[in-house]
Amino acid sequence: MKPVNVVVLGGGLVGCAAAYYLARRGAGVLLVEQGDLNREASGRNAGSLHFQLEYRLIRYGDELAAQFAQIIPLSLVALEDWRGLEAELRADLEVGMHGGLIVAESDADVALLERRQALQEKWGLASQLLSAAEVRRMAPYLAESVIAAGYFPHEGHANPRLVAPAFARRAEELGVTIQSQTRVTGLMRDGAQWVVTVVDRSGRAREVIADAVLNAAGAWAGEIGALAHLHLPIFAVPLSMNVIERAAPLIPHLVQHASQRLTLKQVAAGNVLVGGGWPSRFSREGSAMSTQRRADPVVENVMANLTLAARLVPAIGGLHLLRSWTGITGITTDQMPLLGAVPEAPGFFVAAGGAAFTHGPTYARLVSELILEGRPSVSIDLYSPARFSHINNFMASV
């Protein structure tokens, strides 16, 4: 085994992909995951590859939307990354980029689409506004109530079940050591190095010394930050997802709604995935919300989510809801990713937050370039944890 240069904390998509990119550049990598690989957000998400601005970014007024639109340059990089991913990993990831429609059902929706369109254009993402007739032609499966849609031809989806495991397989081929069912419980800086305490399934603790640590713990990135005596302003939120039984191919696009929480797509096996950011609920542990247990579904939200889906795509109304599940993802205070070095803790890197299924491989690639080469091939300064230096300034030990 190579000496460990980097310990990657978290075995979701970001962690598995980072392990791969780091190893490809020759680093010795240990990846530590408290549960099984890909069992949290990265394996439980909706699989949307959305490059247009999501509803959560546009709904809080023009000023904030303009700020959130800064994600687009990264989205455009991610788009290119996804195009090459199946070849790079020699795996079928069920990537389908056949276009995304954000549908409008009212004049207010149309106005929202227009604003979104303008912002996207400003940052170099060329989407179109389709008329009712154009929508009908392109997507005959949509209901009559759809009067317009924002269209971007390269949006789509991939299968979350497959992506992180493919990265993990390739990472292992490159010599990465993966320890699942192993939890990180301590992080200490010792001179230029990090001492990482990990506890395996049988409760045995050991220490690993590394030059750098990469916090890829998703919704739990804040807790990992705390182990290193840092504040990372990322919040765990519980979402829900639904899958409808298999049907004949019907929906080639990624479908979203202009003003309501909905994402809908049909995966390769024929199942229709319905989500869109409807909340589930954390259970309580004393006075705190528990992020270590699966969140509970909120039945009304499941019903409302599916009602909306069946309204927009009437043909799915005769099918069964196969399963619903919940997943926990991390949202930062300003909705931008936390991507880069924490200046107050040399050797401590973060890649978390945001829509990190779409952006995960890109986060991972760029942050590994930063770790090993000092600068990434595309600037990620906009997303740097340095923007929270006004907090960590008071946390740093030196």
Partner 1 sequence: MSKRITVGVVRPSPVSIFVNGKAVEAYEGESVLTALIAAGVLATSRDSFGRLRTPFCNMGVCFDCLVEVEEGGRVSSRVRACLTPVRAGLRVVVPEGR
Partner 2 sequence: MGASDQQVSDATCDVAIIGAGPSGLAAAAVLREHGVGVTVIDEQPRAGGQILRQPPKNFSVAHWLPAKLYDRVKAALHAVSEQQDIDWRFQSTVLGILRPSAYRTLRADASGAAGPESAAVRSHMERQTSVAGPDQKLGGGAHELWIQGPSGCYLLRANAVLLAPGCYERPLAFPGWTLPGVMGAGAIQGFVKSQQFVPGNRFVLAGSHPLQLVVADQLLTAGAQVAAVVFTQRKQQALRMLRHPFVALRHHRQLLETSHILRRLRRAGVPVIFGHTIVRADGAHAVEKATIAEINPSGTIDHHKTHVFECDRIGVCHGFLASSELARQAGADMHWKDHAGGWLARHDDWLESSIKNLFVAGEITSVDGADAALEKGRIAAVGILRSLGRLDDNRARSLASNARKRLSHLQRFAAVLQQLAQPPAGLALQTMSDDTLLCRCESIQRGELQRALADNKHVLSADAAKLLTRVGMGLCQGRLCGDNVARVIADARGVQPDEVGPFQAQAPVKPVPLAALTRERITSPRPRM
Ligand X SMILES: Cc1cc2nc3c(=O)[nH]c(=O)nc-3n(C[C@H](O)[C@H](O)[C@H](O)COP(=O)(O)OP(=O)(O)OC[C@H]3O[C@@H](n4cnc5c(N)ncnc54)[C@H](O)[C@@H]3O)c2cc1C
**Minimum distance from CB of 174 to ligand X (Å)?**
19
Q: Give the residues lining the site for ligand X (CB under 6 A).
A: 9-15, 32-35, 39-42, 44-48, 183-184, 216-220, 224, 239, 241, 263, 275, 327-329, 352, 355-358, 360
Report d(CA 104, CA 156) in Å as an integer.
18
Q: Which tokens in the block code for residue 128?
A: 């179109």
- Please pick, from the candidates 165, 238, 327, 347, the single residue that binds partner 2 as defined by CB under 8 A: 165
The closest alpha carbon to 350, from 189, 223, 182, 238, belongs to: 223
**Minimum distance from CB of 377 to ligand X (Å)?**
21
Q: Give which of partner 1, ligand X, partner 2, none residue 375 binds (C-beta under 5 to 8 Å, depending on kind).
A: none
Fill in the DSSP letter of residue 50. Answer: -
**Minimum distance from CB of 53 to partner 2 (Å)?**
15
**Minimum distance from CB of 309 to partner 1 (Å)?**
14
Q: Which tokens in the block code for residue 38?
A: 């890909």
Q: Which tokens in the block code for residue 190?
A: 């010792």
Q: Which CB atom, from 40 or from 81, has the smaller least distance to ligand X?
A: 40
The closest alpha carbon to 198, from 8, 55, 5, belongs to: 8
The answer to the question of residue 10 lying near partner 2 (CB under 8 A) is no
Beta-carbon neighbour count of residue 307 at 10 Å? 11
Q: Which tokens in the block code for residue 185?
A: 């419980």
Report d(CA 225, CA 210) in Å as an integer.
17
Cβ neighbours for 43, distance < 8 A, ≥ 6 positions apart: 12, 160, 161, 164
Contact criterion met (CB below 8 Å) for 103 and 149: yes
SS3 18: helix
**Minimum distance from CB of 153 to ligand X (Å)?**
18
**Minimum distance from CB of 246 to partner 1 (Å)?**
6
The answer to the question of residue 297 lying near partner 2 (CB under 8 A) is yes
Q: Which CB atom, from 97 or from 267, has the smaller least distance to partner 1?
A: 267
Q: How many residues bind partner 2 (CB under 8 A)?
A: 63
Residues listed for the chain:
398
Q: Between residue 36 and residue 95, which ones bind partner 2 under the rule CB under 8 A?
A: 36-39, 43, 55, 59
Q: Between residue 303 and residue 322, which ones bind partner 2 under the rule CB under 8 A?
A: 303-308, 310-311, 314-322
Report d(CA 196, CA 291) in Å as an integer.
22
Which residues sit at the interface with partner 2, rule CB under 8 A? Answer: 11, 36-39, 43, 55, 59, 161-162, 165, 168-169, 172, 178, 180-181, 244-248, 250, 259-262, 269-270, 276, 278, 281, 283, 293-294, 296-308, 310-311, 314-326
